[in-house]
């Protein structure tokens, strides 16, 4: 037992510790947003929703994966297995936020009589896949929904041990734009050099679809998938101002690969299980993964200001409620995009991409400078949301109170 007062510690912008009570409240708030069947009723005109019973979420401890898991469990009483990679506490350090989030989820699941199993390990490894398969066979088979929500800076290839590091860079030519230097809170111009061929290939190896395909093939080979199974991975497109660093950059290549892999997975699932593989294009939100992308923090600070003013802002849990209620239907989903020959995209970014929203963001963009950052954008909100991810600056938490940090499920 080690009760201690936990104050936020940062290295640059990043928090290097986490507050268990703040994390618990974050999870509690998300559960409250979903719990009770009326919150997950489909919007009028939506087809009959898929009601998931047995759900695997890969990347389940923070961000979109955590919100997906909460939606499946508290929205539909699904049995869930969450796979994630988080640091437990030790004598000198608190655990990571995703670890404390999972602890809280575990406690609420027990309270509410929901089955929730957790696997803390490297999802890219064969070992974690084997452990997950054994657990699924025992407790969850057959799976009717598999969510793939990993965001990682690196991946060790299970075949040859090679470590790939992802790079967030433009392709072809250097890209210059303004960005918020998060440590100093200055608005500065940055120039990002173009990625090398190796950096492009490595980013695709980390954030592309290969590992998703390996998971789905392993689950199919082991006979652990239900008839009508659906698998969903998450992507982002965003507005043209971010394309050189996102859609047309290294990460965009990886997302294109993910979409191509969705087609391959579906052709494997369809004949055997009448199953589907979708890519859901989600809204930009503040997570540990998105804050690391250059230019994106400025975009997010402007976007949330504009969307909030219009009453359109959504957090991951609200996005996931919409995904499950309106798009994961028994019949093919209604808002599948058909342009570009791609029939597997669900668009949850429809409100973000509205012409009036993007026009306002684009108009504000060139006005932002260091002096007016907090007036023109919602940088304060961005900063608070970022700290919230680690359990800090969460409403109702007394940060002068000692808390137990050495916890496990």
Residue of 64, 148, 236, 246 marked catalytic: 246
Q: Which lies closer to ligand NAD via its Cβ, residue 254 or residue 371?
A: 254
* Separation CA 78–CA 155 (nearest Å): 30
Q: Which lies closer to ligand NAD via its Cβ, residue 59 or residue 170?
A: 59
What SS3 class is residue 191? strand
* Separation CA 297–CA 365 (nearest Å): 12
- Contact between 86 and ligand NAD by CB under 6 A: the answer reads yes
Q: Which lies closer to ligand NAD via its Cβ, residue 2 or residue 260?
A: 260
Task: Give me the least distance between CB of 156 and ligand NAD, in Å please.
Answer: 8
Helices 296-309 and 379-389 pack at an angle, to 10 degrees, of 110
* Separation CA 38–CA 76 (nearest Å): 11
Residue 246 annotated among the catalytic residues of the structure = yes
How, if at all, do strands 116-120 and 79-84 pair? parallel
- Contact between 152 and ligand NAD by CB under 6 A: the answer reads yes
- Contact between 62 and ligand NAD by CB under 6 A: the answer reads yes
**Per-residue mark of binding to ligand NAD, 131-150 (x: CB under 6 A):** ------------------xx
Contacting ligand NAD (CB under 6 A), which of 256, 260, 288, 315?
288
Q: Which stretch binds ligand NAD (CB under 6 A): 117-125, 167-175, 323-331, 362-370?
A: 117-125
* Separation CA 362–CA 303 (nearest Å): 10
* Separation CA 392–CA 386 (nearest Å): 9
Task: Give me the least distance between CB of 262 and ligand NAD, in Å please.
Answer: 13
Decide: 301 and 253 in contact? Cβ < 8 Å. no
For residue 230, how far is the Cα from the chain centroid?
18
- Contact between 390 and ligand NAD by CB under 6 A: the answer reads no
* Separation CA 280–CA 148 (nearest Å): 10
Residues in CB range of 351: below 8 A, 6 or more apart: 283, 307, 312, 314, 357
Q: 22 phi and psi, to 5 degrees?
A: -65, -40
- Contact between 61 and ligand NAD by CB under 6 A: the answer reads yes
| Distances, alpha carbon 232 to alpha carbons 47, 209, 288, in Å | 18, 11, 21
- Token pair of 365 as six digits: 């963009």
Contacting ligand NAD (CB under 6 A), which of 22, 49, 52, 65?
65
Q: Which lies closer to ligand NAD via its Cβ, residue 95 or residue 403?
A: 95
Q: Which lies closer to ligand NAD via its Cβ, residue 74 or residue 85?
A: 85
DSSP state of 45: T
- Token pair of 23 as six digits: 């994390």
- Contact between 122 and ligand NAD by CB under 6 A: the answer reads yes
Contacting ligand NAD (CB under 6 A), which of 33, 72, 289, 307?
289
**Per-residue mark of binding to ligand NAD, 228-257 (x: CB under 6 A):** ------xxx---------------------
Q: Which lies closer to ligand NAD via its Cβ, residue 122 or residue 226?
A: 122
- Contact between 63 and ligand NAD by CB under 6 A: the answer reads yes
| Catalytic (active-site) positions | 246
- Interface contacts to ligand NAD, rule CB under 6 A: 59-65, 83-86, 98, 122-124, 149-152, 234-236, 282, 284-285, 287-290
């Amino acid at each position: 037992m080690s009760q201690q007062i936990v104050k936020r510690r940062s290295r640059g912008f990043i928090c290097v510790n986490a507050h268990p009570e703040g994390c618990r409240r974050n999870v509690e708030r998300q559960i409250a947003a979903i719990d009770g069947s009326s919150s997950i009723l489909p919007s009028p005109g939506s087809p009959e929703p898929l009601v998931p019973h047995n759900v695997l979420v890969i990347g389940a401890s923070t961000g979109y994966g955590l919100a997906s898991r909460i939606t499946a469990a508290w929205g539909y009483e699904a049995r869930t297995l969450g796979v994630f990679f988080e640091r437990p506490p030790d004598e000198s350090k608190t655990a990571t936020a995703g670890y404390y989030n999972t602890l809280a989820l575990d406690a609420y699941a027990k309270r509410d009589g929901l089955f929730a199993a957790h696997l803390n390990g490297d999802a890219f490894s064969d070992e974690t896949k084997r452990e997950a398969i054994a657990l699924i066979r025992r407790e969850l088979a057959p799976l009717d929904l598999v969510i793939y929500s990993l965001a990682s800076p690196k991946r060790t290839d299970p075949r040859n041990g090679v470590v790939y590091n992802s790079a967030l860079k433009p392709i072809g030519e250097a890209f210059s734009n303004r960005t918020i230097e998060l440590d100093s809170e200055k608005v500065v111009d940055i120039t990002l050099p173009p990625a090398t061929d190796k950096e492009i290939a490595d980013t695709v190896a980390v954030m592309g679809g290969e590992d998703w395909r390996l998971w789905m093939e392993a689950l199919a080979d082991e006979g652990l998938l239900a008839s009508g199974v659906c698998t969903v991975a998450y992507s982002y497109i965003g507005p043209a101002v971010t394309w050189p660093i996102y859609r047309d950059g290294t990460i965009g290549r990886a997302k294109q690969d993910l979409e191509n892999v969705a087609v391959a997975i579906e052709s494997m699932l369809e004949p055997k299980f009448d199953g589907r593989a979708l890519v859901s294009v989600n809204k930009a939100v503040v997570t540990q993964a998105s804050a690391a992308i250059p230019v994106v923090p400025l975009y997010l600070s402007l976007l949330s200001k504009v969307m909030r003013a219009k009453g359109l802002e959504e957090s991951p849990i609200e996005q996931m409620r919409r995904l499950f209620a309106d798009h994961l239907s028994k019949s093919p989903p209604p808002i599948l995009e058909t342009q570009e020959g791609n029939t597997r995209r669900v668009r949850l970014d429809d409100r973000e991409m509205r012409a009036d929203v993007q026009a306002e963001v684009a108009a504000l963009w060139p006005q932002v400078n260091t002096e007016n950052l907090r007036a023109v954008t919602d940088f304060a909100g961005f900063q608070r949301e970022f700290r919230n991810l680690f359990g800090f600056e969460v409403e109702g938490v007394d940060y002068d109170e000692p808390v137990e940090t050495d916890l496990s499920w």
